[in-house]
Amino acid sequence: MITQRPKGTQDWYGSEMHKRTIIEDIARKICRTYNVKEIITPVFEHTVLFQRGVGETTDVVQKEMYTFMDKGNRSITLKPEGTAGAVRAYLENSLFAESQPIKLFYITPVFRYENPQSGRLRQHHQFGVEFFGSAGPLAEVEIISLLNDFFNELGLKGVNLYINSIGCRNCRRTYNDVLLDFLNKHENELCGTCKERMAKNPLRVLDCKVPTCHEIMKNAPRTIDYLDDECREHFEELKSLLDEMNIAYQVDSGIVRGLDYYTKTVFEFVNSEGLTICGGGRYDNLISEIDGKQDIPALGFGCGIERLIKELDAEGIDLGPEPAVDLYVGILGRESRVAAYKLVNKLRREGLIIETDYMDRSVKAQMKYANKIGARHTMVVGADELAAGRARIKNMDTGNETEVAIDKIQDIIELCKKA
């Protein structure tokens, strides 16, 4: 057990770590262009935050949270999603008092106690954005557009956008009554979980993945047919804006998302196999649910990084190799070690990727190692080179060697940057 990672977790290193680093770099780059600021919230929060924010009728709260009592006898939960913590930070740090809107993004681990599935581990990672202060559909277009740019930058082709509206509290009351009438007619055919959901939150039944329930719900009343005038106009304006932006989408009335806090617009980006890569929507009531005072509109999304990587692999998208070592500085003789390492540090401070010998290998073994790690150039520094103040840089692709003065740092840099 001591050398085996817990079920549903992953070690990140090598090529997979490289892919994740590039994805996170692109996410940060896109957020900069949209003026979205990064936020880091604690990995754990008070359990009540998720009970009130995520919703006590959700599978997340009922079945999937990592909850424990700390040494102060307080109930603590590892974050199962990123939104509730961001909302708590927005309120606790009085960000509502600043000029609105507030746009925040995070890249965070999240924890769900469930059977590991494709791209969804018990500890997985999310890139998310939360947008506070705007009630208009242009805010939804903003985060969908950001995601669209993000996926395009990654080169993804097989991910499609699906949207729906589940309305506000007013139209949800009407819809819940109609839906409950439908569910009562099929109660004996539903799974045990859905029978419980009928009493607590009928909308959750729409999100059931059990095949028999899923088939029944294909004929269920649609949320978009029971929207009030304001919610209907909001949804129509959203569709019009997406059309004007040439962002392709399909309306899918089956999307309700798995968390209780959503209102009005919900959306998912789904791959060709029906796997949700990213999902989100509007949650205009969440801040008042948590704060109990303020009624501030908000929206956001969460995008699973592990699922993104699987989709990139499935589409055969190569994010490029890890940056190559620009120069391997070989060391000949113990008396040359300090001078060689000083040179290594000078070159690193100029931005070159430099490697050297830490294993007391022979020069032949060092050059073999340099070739194995893909160093683009090599240089050997020994007593003779130090006495002469000159060394030879070898281009490992062409085999060409160029003599250079060891103290001419810029000359070395120029040689190492050549193809």
- The pLDDT tens digits of the residues spanning 47-60 come to 999 888 676 656 66
| pLDDT the model gives residue 258 | 62
Determine the Cα angle at 14 with ends 12 and 20, to 5°: 55
The reply to whether domains 14-168+228-314 and 327-417 share a CATH topology is no
Residues 356/344, Cβ–Cβ less than 8 Å: yes
Which value, to the nearest 10 degrees, does the dihedral of the CA atoms of residues 15, 16, 17, 20 take? 120
Domain 327-417: top CATH class: alpha beta
Q: Where are the domains of the chain?
A: 14-168+228-314, 327-417
One-letter amino acid identity for 334?
R
Q: Is the predicted pLDDT of residue 327 greater than 80, yes or no?
A: yes
Query: Helices marked H in 34-186 — which ranges?
Result: 47-53, 59, 83-92, 137-154, 169-185
| pLDDT the model gives residue 289 | 85
Q: 245 or 201, which is more confident?
A: 245
Q: Tell me how far apart the alpha carbons of residues 198 and 169 are, in angstroms, rounded to a whole number.
A: 17
Q: Tell me how far apart the alpha carbons of residues 205 and 214 are, in angstroms, rounded to a whole number.
A: 9
Query: Helices marked H in 186-316 — which ranges?
Result: 192-200, 211-217, 229-244, 286-291, 305-314
- C-alpha distances out from residue 410 to 115, 150, 221, 385, Å: 55, 37, 71, 18
| pLDDT the model gives residue 346 | 96
The pair phi, psi for residue 315, each rounded to 5°, is -85, 0
Q: Which CATH superfamily is domain 14-168+228-314 in?
A: Bira Bifunctional Protein; Domain 2 (3.30.930.10)
One-letter amino acid identity for 20?
R
65-69, 115-119, 301-305, range with the lowest pLDDT: 115-119
| pLDDT the model gives residue 61 | 72
| pLDDT the model gives residue 254 | 83
Tokens 């704060």 belong to which residue?
A: 291
| pLDDT the model gives residue 98 | 97
Determine the Cα angle at 309 with ends 306 and 313, to 5°: 140
pLDDT, averaged across the chain: 92
Indicate the pairing of strand 298-304 with strand 327-331: unpaired
Model pLDDT for residues 184-235, shown as the tens digit of each residue: 888 788 887 787 787 777 877 877 778 888 888 888 888 899 999 999 999 9
Q: Is the predicted pLDDT of residue 148 greater than 80, yes or no?
A: yes
Model pLDDT for residues 95-133, shown as the tens digit of each residue: 999 999 999 999 999 999 988 877 779 999 999 999 999
CA 235 from centroid of its chain's CA atoms: 27
